[in-house]
Copies of this chain bind each other. A is one copy, B any other.
Amino acid sequence: MTSTDMKIEGKEITIQTQGFSDIKNITDHVRNYVEEVGIDEGICNIFVIGSTATVSTIEFEPNLVKDMQEKLEDFISRDSTTHHGQTWGDDNGFSHIRATFMGPGITAPVHQGKVLLGTWQQIVVIDNDNRPRNRRIFLQVMGR
């Protein structure tokens, strides 16, 4: 490689979500942007701007999405009483805890021009908040 090929390009995307761990498949957004930037080898960082959502991967099919949502409800319920909710009155303490546990972002490898994922592995944003939102997600692509 020649270092003159090095590229760093980022953009923000917005995804409409319904909250309560609504899970949205953003794989095509990521794939398309990586192709648009045009790197062969590198990484794509996917990071949610905000403290009540998560980026991870899942086999994106409706039954498993429901299982994941039920497990998150079991982990910490939307009805949980929290100090955060009692103090600020916005009742989304459970949203924050889900999000901090799972983390705000992932970094996926790009190899031979493609985001490297399994066939049954999709990149998703999980919006744990307690209301519909326009979720801001940043895609940062680095490579050559």
Contacts and interface: CB of A to CB of B under 8 A. Distances in A.
A144 interface: yes
A29 interface: no
Interface string A60-87: 0101101110010000100000111011
Most B Cβ at <10 Å: residue of A88, A97, A109: A109
Interface in A1-19: 1-10, 12
Interface residues of A, number: 65
Given A100-B56, A105-B106, A64 B49 contact: no
Q: Which 5 A-B pairs have the closest CB atoms?
A: A63-B83, A50-B118, A51-B121, A64-B84, A109-B140
Interface of A: 1-10, 12, 41-43, 45, 47, 49-51, 56-59, 61, 63-64, 66-68, 71, 76, 82-84, 86-88, 93, 96-97, 99-111, 116-118, 120-122, 136, 138, 140, 142-144
Given A49-B117, A56-B101, 5 more contacts: A45-B109, A50-B118, A51-B58, A63-B86, A103-B103
